[in-house]
Amino acid sequence: MNKKYRKTIIAGNWKMNLLPSDVKPYTDELRQLAGKVRHCEVVVCTPFVMLPQAVKAFRDSRISVGAQNVSDKDSGAFTGEVSASQLRDLGVKYVIVGHSERRAYYGETDEIVCAKVKAVLNAGLYPIICVGETSAQREQGVTDEVVSMQVKLALSGVPAEKVRHIVIAYEPIWAIGTGKTATPEDAADVCTKIRAIIRALYGARTARAVTIQYGGSMNPKNAYDLLAMHDIDGGLIGGASLKPADFAAIIDAANQ
């Protein structure tokens, strides 16, 4: 982490877990456990149906609320979709965009991811853009090429003045929900290369201001070592974020 130039952000992604009735007990426990949040920003990304409760529960705290998805359209006849402006009006601050599960299960292309990034930014919200390689791509030695392409396409047409509002989460697909984790050195290497891509596109000052997270089975046991790496500025946490005690332990690691 480099807290001199950029924010450290620990974001929890509940995915399709828990119930609306679980939100208040969870938030009460997390607010108590994470009461000493000092050097990082904490985000909880819930399913759409729980966002109103989460916004209310975390009001007047140092914990922000994020959504897990968004439409690339601002309004119109798009049944079942939710726009960035609707999320903003609700009190949401962050939006996960391009998670590998959205790409794999729902056919989200790099072009769709880019359109969603722009919609989120235009609404004044902060996108958390997910990038990462599959196990086969890693074995073939094309991690750098895959991640580079995803980053460049996600940022295509995004003006420099808005790039500082973007968070990029490096999530190797082979590590999501598997219990496998990239070594701190390997994770940091990819995060450093992501920053180099941003530097080439937008310059050094912008690149050093962008928060780059690591995702992929970050947990209380490995969080400290991962977050000690220079170019890892936080984590996008899946399973461990469902348990307030585990999530709070990762937040503590970010407060180092």
Catalytic positions: 99, 171
CA angle (179 as vertex; 175, 184 as ends), nearest 5: 60
Provide the sign of the torsion angle of the four alpha carbons 218, 34, 233, 87, taken in this order.
positive
Residue 9 near residue 234 (C-beta atoms within 8 A): yes
Adjacent-strand bridge partners of 130: 169
Please, are residues 232 and 187 in contact by the beta-carbon 8 Å criterion? Answer: yes
SS3 192: helix
Give the residue from 249, 180, 251 showing the smallest Cα distance to 221: 249
Residue 63 CB partners (closer than 8 Å, separation 6+): 27, 30, 31, 34, 37, 42, 43, 44
Q: How far is CA 221 from CA 152, 193, 225, 238, in A?
A: 33, 25, 9, 14
Residue 116 CB contacts under 8 Å (≥ 6 apart), including other chains: 70, 71, 72, 95, 97, 98, 127
Cα Dmax for the chain: 48
CB neighbour class for 105 (10 Å; exposed up to 12, middle 13-18, buried from 19): exposed
